[in-house]
Homo-oligomer: A and B are copies of this chain.
Amino acid sequence: MNIITIGREFGSGGRELGEKLAELLSYDYYDSRIITAIADNKGLSADYVEKTLDNYSSGNVTFAFASTFSMSGAGDFNNIDLLVEQAKVVKALAEKGRDMVIVGRNADVYLAEYQPINIFVCADMSAKLERCRQRAKQGENLSDRQLARKIKSIDKNRKRMREFVGGNGWGDPHNYNLTVNTTCRNPKELAKTVAIYVRNEIDTKR
């Protein structure tokens, strides 16, 4: 079984790259479906689960409390519980034993024992702004400054969440096999090269 994890900056096109990569390799593909699975298992709305897991700052009091009291004081349900469920869902995917590409959710941390191939996708702020603008919902009228602040804030949360679940520096190329910059590039085009890299890695391992 081969596992490819994709970490990415918000707006870098990491999801598109991962999706195309899975298609090129004929691997299973997971991103937001993980959120849906967590929500289903917990009887919560997917929207609530996504917001809670992706917003470290909203839960930092609970986190601090839980880690001080070894999580025993965490109660019936809180953010810690969602994180535990996330780890379970991600690990259950790996236990299926099928080749897969998994985007986000700190999958490289949870699945380290499987020695996945870890890819990180980054881009310049200007490129991320442009990509976000193209995908913006109708009526979303943030200024460049506001949008850049939003992007930075989301990535800051991802960084903190990764540290919280025990991962090394988010986005530090030492923690990934390959780091791809999508500035002025088409993520789907880049997926072709990444697919060749992955095939090469797998052939070399054999």
When C-beta atoms are compared, the residue in chain B nearest to A182 turns out to be B177
Nearest Cβ distance between residue A199 and chain B, in whole angstroms?
9
- Interface residues in A, total, Cβ within 8 A: 23
The answer, among B124, B176, B185, B192, for a CB contact under 8 Å with A174, is B124
* Number of identical protomers: 2
Complex contact B192–A200 (CB within 8 A): yes
A114 proximal to B (CB < 8 A): no
CB-nearest residue of chain B relative to A176?
B181
In Å, the complex CA distance between A178 and B180 comes to 5
With a cutoff of 8 Å between Cβ atoms, the chain B residues found around residue A124 in the complex are 174
Expressed in whole angstroms, the minimum distance between the Cβ of A13 and any Cβ of chain B is 14
Q: Does A45 contact B (CB under 8 A)?
A: no
Residues of chain B lying within 8 A (CB to CB) of residue A180: 178-179
A171-B173, A177-B185, A179-B179 known; 13 new pairs, CB 8 Å cut-off, are A123-B174, A124-B174, A177-B181, A178-B178, A178-B180, A178-B181, A179-B180, A189-B200, A189-B204, A193-B193, A193-B196, A193-B200, A197-B197
- 16 example contacts (A-B, Cβ-Cβ < 8 A) are as follows A122-B173, A122-B174, A124-B174, A173-B173, A173-B179, A173-B181, A176-B181, A177-B181, A177-B185, A178-B179, A178-B181, A186-B204, A189-B200, A193-B197, A196-B196, A196-B197
